[in-house]
């Protein structure tokens, strides 16, 4: 229903909306692009989504309502059926208890009417008087049908004086003959009977030869027996049919088809034609068919759906209102300030440098943009004037950078000439020093831009450095080596040992002008260990400095090339091999300082460049 009304609404306005959209297609301004975006990118998808959600939700609500009605009806009918069966059990007490039969037989033999009647009255009162579901319980013997024994329950009756006699008279005049007629076919079972809105449960009392000698009739209180039907969702009023005949005759049967109330349904059935709504359930009870029919308040069901309809139109109204508000907001707060900025940009394009725009005070963002535009416009002339000087400065920087590349080459060539002159003069010591210096210079220049070298080549740079240091200290400086020769072909990052050896000399030899440096290289599992030891002792200040050097922070340290070299080695190793590799500096058991480099051998296949 709701979806149909929504579709009609859309069809009525489709032509108008389409004409508006067609006019928007040819517009290129920000304003009309925004309108197209709101319509095509927001309103239309949201409208379709809303319709879809309403359809789904309405179907879910309808299904849930139907499920609630059917489940509550099943439960209510189950309770009603249980109530009737409990009355059947109560009626059996008159058959199974021998009080009535023995009193009747004694009466026939001795003729003691007082004791006989009192016994029957007491039995009926004890069994049925205090059950609020039973209005009136009557017993009569088939040989003396005019003599009716009875008891009644006045718990809910307003007229406690006249009500019992009225019901007894009504039974004798309108129902008793039908009850007697039922006696022949009833056997030991029970039957429900109704007459002018009165509901009776009838049972034969049989003698030992299974011949009926009396009949027990219980008039049931309908509001208690059928009370559970009031719990059905949306119940307006109900009716019960016994073998197709209505109990209350309130006109409902005229609106129902007979086949609805004659065959067992196996559960509650919901019916709704948008004008009337029913739920009914037909059960087999003894040899009878009981049909429970509940007319529902269709207005309540429709009201549930109208809520969705109201929500849809309310959402549509707010969507259109939001579009208008957004359009106005963007027009005044975005489009107009942007137009002013565009005009200012055109003025600058025409050469009017320093042009100022009016600052939009109502918006922090555009106020910032306007101020930034004015600032840039004011500085634009200055930028044009200084750009030539900046280009000259850049050229000078490039020239200096080129010179810094040329100088090491020039120095290396110069060293080769000096070395040649030293050899010609027979000064082998000077020649060796120059060759060692040239080796170190070639390593630092790294002309081939290599990242990895063999361990043997890396040790050659160390040897060159130690040769120079040995020339400086002579016999006061000792070097101890313990190198696994099988590892010389392993690839390691370039220049990771020499800075550590230089630090060992600086720390362990320089202060005392004598000392020793030990180099030990070995392998454990998939890792290469390079240990460089010296005679120096680590003080607390040294340990703190090492912690800062080898830590992950970026705190500023002294700018000595040794400190920077140590930090560089550690970071390079961690970048290449991960956190398990790197550099550590610690004291050993002899209080010497030991620097340990850890390289992962599993990477060597990738480090051969």
**How many CB atoms neighbour CB 30 within 10 A?**
15
Cα 328 from Cα 346, distance rounded (Å): 26
pLDDT of residue 522 exceeding 60, the answer is yes
- Are residue 205 and residue 292 in the same domain, yes or no? no
Cα 154 from Cα 130, distance rounded (Å): 9
Q: What is the pLDDT of residue 458?
A: 87
- Are residue 221 and residue 176 in the same domain, yes or no? yes
User: Across the chain, what does the average pLDDT equal?
Assistant: 75
CATH number of the domain where residue 522 is located: 3.30.565.10
Retrieve residue 169's tokens: 């008279």
In this prediction, residues 468-497 reach a mean pLDDT of: 87
In this prediction, residues 344-355 reach a mean pLDDT of: 74
- Are residue 153 and residue 249 in the same domain, yes or no? no
- Are residue 178 and residue 263 in the same domain, yes or no? no
Q: What is the pLDDT of residue 583?
A: 92
Q: What is the pLDDT of residue 392?
A: 46
pLDDT of residue 273 exceeding 50, the answer is yes
Is position 69 within any domain? no
Q: What is the pLDDT of residue 527?
A: 92
The residues, any chain, with a CB within 8 Å of residue 372's CB and separated by 6 or more, are none
Is position 213 within any domain? yes
Are 367 and 361 a contacting pair, CB within 8 Å? yes
Reported as a pLDDT band with limits 50, 70 and 90, residue 236 is confident
**How many CB atoms neighbour CB 475 within 10 A?**
7
Is position 273 within any domain? yes
- Are residue 173 and residue 115 in the same domain, yes or no? yes
The three-state DSSP-derived secondary structure of 371-415 is: HHHHHHHHHHHHHHHHHHHHHHHHHHHHHHHHHHHHHHHHHHHHH
Domain boundary among 225, 257, 280: 225
Domain that holds residue 246: 234-296
Domain boundary among 264, 296, 328: 296
Q: What is the pLDDT of residue 393?
A: 40
- Are residue 156 and residue 254 in the same domain, yes or no? no
Q: What is the pLDDT of residue 353?
A: 66
* φ and ψ of 173, to 5 deg: -80, -35
pLDDT of residue 363 exceeding 80, the answer is no
Q: What is the pLDDT of residue 11?
A: 41
Lowest mean pLDDT among 331-340, 465-474, 520-529: 331-340
How many domains are contained in the chain?
A: 3
pLDDT of residue 486 exceeding 80, the answer is yes
What 3-state DSSP class applies to 533?
Answer: strand
- Are residue 117 and residue 186 in the same domain, yes or no? yes
pLDDT tens sequence across 142-184: 888 888 888 888 765 544 444 667 888 888 888 888 888 888 7
CA atoms within 13 A on the CB side of 405: 7
Pick the residue with more confidence: 307 or 591?
591
Strand pairing partners for 237?
295
Q: What is the pLDDT of residue 314?
A: 79
Question: Quick one: which of 400, 341, 389, 386 has its CA closest to 365?
Answer: 341
- Are residue 221 and residue 245 in the same domain, yes or no? no
């Amino acid at each position: 229903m709701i979806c149909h009304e929504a579709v009609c609404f859309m069809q009525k306005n489709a032509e108008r909306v389409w004409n508006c959209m067609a006019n928007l297609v040819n517009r290129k301004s920000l304003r009309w692009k925004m309108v197209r975006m709101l319509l095509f990118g927001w309103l239309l998808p949201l409208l379709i989504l809303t319709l879809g959600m309403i359809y789904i939700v309405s179907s879910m609500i309808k299904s849930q309502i139907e499920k609630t009605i059917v489940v509550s009806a099943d439960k209510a009918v189950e309770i009603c059926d249980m109530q009737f069966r409990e009355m059947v059990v109560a009626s059996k007490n008159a058959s199974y208890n021998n009080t009535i039969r023995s009193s009747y037989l004694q009466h026939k033999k001795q003729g003691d009417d007082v004791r006989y009647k009192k016994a029957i009255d007491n039995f009926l009162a004890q069994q049925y008087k205090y059950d609020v579901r039973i209005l009136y319980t009557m017993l009569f013997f088939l040989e003396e049908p005019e003599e009716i024994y009875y008891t009644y329950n006045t718990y809910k009756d307003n007229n406690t004086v006249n009500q019992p006699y009225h019901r007894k008279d009504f039974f004798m005049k309108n129902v008793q003959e039908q009850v007697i007629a039922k006696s022949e076919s009833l056997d030991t079972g029970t039957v429900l009977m109704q007459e002018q809105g009165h509901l009776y449960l009838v049972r034969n009392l049989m003698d030992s030869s299974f011949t009926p000698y009396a009949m027990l009739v219980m008039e049931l209180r309908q509001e208690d027996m059928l009370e559970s039907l009031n719990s059905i969702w949306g119940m307006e009023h109900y009716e019960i049919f016994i073998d197709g005949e209505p109990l209350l005759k309130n006109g409902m049967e005229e609106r129902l088809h007979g086949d609805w109330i004659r065959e067992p349904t196996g559960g509650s059935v919901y019916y709704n034609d948008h004008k009337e709504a029913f739920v009914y359930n037909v059960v087999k009870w003894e040899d009878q068919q009981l049909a429970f029919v509940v007319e529902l308040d269709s207005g309540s069901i429709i009201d549930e759906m109208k809520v969705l309809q109201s929500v849809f139109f309310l959402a549509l109204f707010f969507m259109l209102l939001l579009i208008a508000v957004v359009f106005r907001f963007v027009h005044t707060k975005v489009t107009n300030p942007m137009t002013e900025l565009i005009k200012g940009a055109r003025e600058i394009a025409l050469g009017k440098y320093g042009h100022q725009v009016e600052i939009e005070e109502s918006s922090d963002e555009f106020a910032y943009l306007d101020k930034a535009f004015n600032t840039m416009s004011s500085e634009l002339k200055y930028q044009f004037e200084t750009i030539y000087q900046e280009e000259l400065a850049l050229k000078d920087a490039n020239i200096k950078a080129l010179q810094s590349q040329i100088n090491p080459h020039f120095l290396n060539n110069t060293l080769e000439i000096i070395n040649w002159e030293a050899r010609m003069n027979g000064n082998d010591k000077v020649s060796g020093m120059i060759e060692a210096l040239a080796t170190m210079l070639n390593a630092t220049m790294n002309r081939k831009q290599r990242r990895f070298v063999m361990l043997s080549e890396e040790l050659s740079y160390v040897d060159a450095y130690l040769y120079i240091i040995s020339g400086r200290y002579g016999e006061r400086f000792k070097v101890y080596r313990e190198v696994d020769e099988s590892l010389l072909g392993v690839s390691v990052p370039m220049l990771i040992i020499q800075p550590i050896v230089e630090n060992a000399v600086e720390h362990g030899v320089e202060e005392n002008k004598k000392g020793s440096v030990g180099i030990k290289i070995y392998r454990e599992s998939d890792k290469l260990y390079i240990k460089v030891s010296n005679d120096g002792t680590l003080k607390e200040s040294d340990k703190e400095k090492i912690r800062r050097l080898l830590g992950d922070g970026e705190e500023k340290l002294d700018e000595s090339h040794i400190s920077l070299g140590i930090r560089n080695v550690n970071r390079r190793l961690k970048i290449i091999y991960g956190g398990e590799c790197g550099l550590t500096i610690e004291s050993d058991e002899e209080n010497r300082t030991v620097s340990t480099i850890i390289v992962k051998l599993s990477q060597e296949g990738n480090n051969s460049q």
